[in-house]
Structure 1
């Protein structure tokens, strides 16, 4: 079950964390969070070496150790290269976070076979192959966390492709949790709502997409989430306090997925929530 490789560990006894797509957004926020906890963080990136090296520098400034590894996990070769490098430089792995994602935002009738193939390769296949490789390096137990989104459980314009892939990831998480439990490995997912990021800005720039302000009005929290809030949730699942949590999907969406029409934001004045009550003293 273990991975056979020539090892020249550079990490000492610090926990080793691999994050795909870690040069920006949620991945970067998590990398810095784990760096502050003293982890050795493998920063995977596809193209932007400057951003990855900046993340590594910030990890080390925060008190951790960072390693930048270029690999395109959309390809099977890229996944293999990434984990070969982790094995060579670290010798083991404690945390694997599947964060990298990509898709086409189109109506279903406009999706071509190449869109389907690429979205599967980048989101589902990369996660499954990565988890297989991670298990072989987790010789003393470990944690696997996959990033999901509320499109896995709700339908909205142009998100069918990525939402379906995220739903598949959540199903894989449940199966992995059962199969990997005897190895001491927990597997979970974090399902994010509207999280402030370049990806969110890009999605709401799609032609014809409703104005994001109207969507935020319908979220009970009335705001976007932050990359740090997602990072903190993932870090919890990687930590000691989540030792008995596996096969679960934690939702970080400000209450978005629990509301339904008619929305409070659309109600008349008589039904809108009054100001917060105060206690008479």
Structure 2
């Protein structure tokens, strides 16, 4: 995506930005001229490579190590932003983790971590971000289609994503008077480390069979999700707040019976010819 310098002089903080969607977004914002705070948990080399990539395309990057799973980590991350820049324009809550287990197999520590890693950093981060956005700003949280759909082993994470989308609406209401927009982006099957891990769970369906059910017939890319986030951060999304944008190739609109399971005369042709 070409940003055309629309993020010049903007300061953006992205949690979990050393890989996947966070990395793609960091490079995209950097291409638009932003200063990007690249938060990471432990892999300094990856984070520094992201910073180098941001600077190669014309932006400025700063790698900040902080474990947002902890309250102290969230506070230290925003303290660094405050000390370095004194302000913030964009906060993207991207870091996530979860236990892929059936409900009866979940332990209390799985539930605790789902909350501590996915929901709490978003809420605490927003509380820290708003005072730094005295000229207005944008907050975006990453969700997933497990927030509105149920499928095996995703309950612990999906329920937290649903809660995130609810918080997006409440924050949008409270922060609008400060000229701060709050939105979510819900990804479907996105080609990432998380997708590989999920489809590596013993007993889960083969992922190729699932792609047949997606209208676009493929997984999405990290860049495609990053582009959606970029739009919500851009001036063109000024009147959009309290919404969750779905980026899933049409997955959430389909239901059985699937076209992939039909046969003639219902099966779809390779491409319509226009002839009757």
TM-score, L = length of structure 1: 0.94
Residue 247 in 1 paired to residue 228 in 2? no
Secondary structure of the equivalent of 1:154? coil
Aligned pairs for 1:99-138 within 5 A: 99-138=94-133
Which residue is 1:165 aligned to? 160
Q: Work out the CA distance in 2 between the residues paired with 1:154 and 1:269.
A: 30
Secondary structure of the equivalent of 2:134? coil
The Cα shift of 1:269 comes to 2.6
Provide, for residues 120-174 of structure 1, a one-character-per-residue CA deviation record: whole Å limited to 9, x for no partner.
0111111000000000100100000000000000000100000000000000000
Q: Work out the CA distance in 1 between the residues paired with 2:259 and 2:227.
A: 29
Residue 198 in 1 paired to residue 198 in 2? no
The Cα shift of 1:270 comes to 1.8
Q: Work out the CA distance in 1 between the residues paired with 2:50 and 2:79.
A: 21
Which residue is 1:94 aligned to? 89
The Cα shift of 1:276 comes to 2.2
**Equivalent residue in structure 1 for 2:40, among 36, 45, 50:** 45
Provide, for residues 93-128 of structure 1, a one-character-per-residue CA deviation record: whole Å limited to 9, x for no partner.
000000000110000001111110111011111100
Residue 78 in 1 paired to residue 73 in 2? yes
Secondary structure of the equivalent of 1:89? helix
Q: Work out the CA distance in 1 between the residues paired with 2:252 and 2:155.
A: 17
Which residue is 2:4 aligned to? none
Secondary structure of the equivalent of 2:265? coil
Q: Work out the CA distance in 2 between the residues paired with 1:77 and 1:210.
A: 38
**Cα RMSD after superposing both structures:** 0.8
Q: Which runs of 5+ in 1 are unaligned?
A: 1-12
Provide, for residues 153-211 of structure 1, a one-character-per-residue CA deviation record: whole Å limited to 9, x for no partner.
00001000000000000000000000000000000000000000011000000000100
Q: Which runs of 5+ in 2 are unaligned?
A: 1-7
The Cα shift of 1:48 comes to 0.1
The Cα shift of 1:219 comes to 0.4
Secondary structure of the equivalent of 1:188? strand
The Cα shift of 1:279 comes to 4.2
Q: Work out the CA distance in 2 between the residues paired with 1:14 and 1:180.
A: 22
Secondary structure of the equivalent of 1:58? helix
**Equivalent residue in structure 1 for 2:9, among 3, 6, 14:** 14
Q: Work out the CA distance in 2 between the residues paired with 1:123 and 1:136.
A: 22
**Equivalent residue in structure 2 for 1:62, among 57, 67, 71:** 57
Q: Work out the CA distance in 1 between the residues paired with 2:167 and 2:262.
A: 39
